């Protein structure tokens, strides 16, 4: 994958619209404003592929970006908006449950804020990924906003709060600066390649 060709292909509002073409799916989840769009754009080295600053309530879709005809980066709808109606929460939950139940996830990427302890919703989301049995990486974004001495204790808090196993990668990341991109890409490519092998 050289990220030369990136296409926005599908915006799925329900399970019948999920991509089921055998192409590996790398799923990105995170609370609103954590920088999920920015992380996806950083991976893609595009400024505006995933839309930064999406307005609350308009994002209950699963958006697929096809990279080099090889893998989808899947932008799951954000969570934790303060002002969301019950019906929108229910729509979010149904769409996410259907996606997690679909068995389509090749690699899960949960994005949390490096500055803060994970929220209750982050903990729930980590459990969904863990229970789905797919390989799973946690990205601690906005690292550039931390002082050096804060990095280690904050990562420890994140690891403990999310009950991450020792072999789960917790990757310090800055979508703004590009920190961590190489390692994240390596994980994405390894997951995409091994998913292709199991099919061959
Ligand atoms: P989303 O709602 O999770 O998709 O978040 P966005 O990608 O729209 O980012 C929310 C805000 O955080 C925007 O103002 C971004 O510029 C900012 N942001 C995202 N990633 C970083 C980062 O790594 N460092 C800093 N300093 N700001 C970031």
Q: Where are the domains of the chain?
A: 6-199
Q: Is 113 helix (H, G, I), strand (E, B) or coil?
A: strand
Predicted local distance difference test score (pLDDT) of residue 98:
97
Is 76 exposed, middle or buried, given 0-12, 13-18 or 19+ CB atoms closer than 10 A?
buried
Q: How confident is the model at residue 124 (pLDDT cuts 50, 70, 90)?
A: very high
Atom of ligand 1 nearest to the CA of 36: 3
Q: How many Å apart are CA 76 and CA 85, to the nearest integer? A: 19
Q: Is 37 helix (H, G, I), strand (E, B) or coil?
A: helix
Q: Which amino acid residue places its CA nearest to atom 2 of ligand 1?
A: 33
Beta bridge partners, 8, equal 65
Atom of ligand 1 nearest to the CA of 30: 3
Each residue's pLDDT tens digit, 58-110: 658 999 999 999 999 999 999 988 778 889 899 999 999 999 999 999 999 99
Options 3.30.450.20, 3.40.50.300, 3.30.360.10, 3.40.470.10; CATH of 6-199: 3.40.50.300
Atom of ligand 1 nearest to the CA of 177: 23
Asked whether 59 lines ligand 1 (CB < 6 A), one says no
Asked whether 176 lines ligand 1 (CB < 6 A), one says yes
Each residue's pLDDT tens digit, 170-194: 999 999 999 999 999 999 999 999 9
* Ligand 1 centroid to residue 19 C-alpha, Å: 27
Q: What is the pTM of this model?
A: 0.95
Given the structure tokens 């920088």, which residue do they identify?
A: 35
Q: Which amino acid residue places its CA nearest to atom 22 of ligand 1?
A: 142
* Ligand 1 centroid to residue 184 C-alpha, Å: 17
Torsion of CA 94, 87, 27, 116, to 10 degrees: -130
Give the other-Cβ count within 10 Å of 107's Cβ.
Answer: 24
62 in Cβ contact with 169 (< 8 Å): no
Asked whether 175 lines ligand 1 (CB < 6 A), one says yes
Q: Is the pLDDT of residue 32 over 60?
A: yes
Q: Which amino acid residue places its CA nearest to atom 12 of ligand 1?
A: 35
* Ligand 1 centroid to residue 200 C-alpha, Å: 38
Q: Is 152 helix (H, G, I), strand (E, B) or coil?
A: helix
From 52, 119, 173, mutation site for ligand 1 pocket: most ligand atoms within 8 A of C-beta: 52
């Amino acid at each position: 994958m050289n990220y030369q060709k990136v296409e926005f292909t599908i915006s799925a509002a329900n399970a019948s619209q999920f991509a089921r073409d055998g192409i590996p799916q790398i799923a990105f989840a995170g609370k609103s404003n954590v920088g999920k769009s920015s992380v996806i754009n950083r991976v893609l080295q595009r400024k505006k592929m995933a839309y930064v600053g999406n307005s609350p309530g308009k994002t209950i879709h699963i958006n697929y970006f096809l990279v080099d005809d090889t893998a989808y980066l899947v932008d799951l709808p954000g969570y934790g908006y303060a002002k969301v109606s019950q019906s929108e929460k229910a729509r979010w939950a149904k769409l996410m449950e259907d996606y997690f139940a679909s068995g389509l996830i090749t690699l899960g990427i949960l994005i949390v804020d490096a500055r803060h302890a994970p929220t209750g919703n982050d903990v729930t989301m980590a459990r969904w990924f863990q229970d789905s049995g797919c390989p799973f990486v946690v990205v601690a974004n906005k690292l550039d906003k931390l002082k050096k001495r804060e990095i280690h204790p904050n990562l420890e808090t994140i690891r403990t709060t999310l009950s991450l196993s020792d072999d789960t990668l917790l990757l310090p990341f800055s979508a703004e600066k590009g920190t961590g991109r190489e390692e994240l890409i390596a994980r994405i490519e390894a997951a995409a390649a091994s998913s292709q092998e199991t099919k061959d």
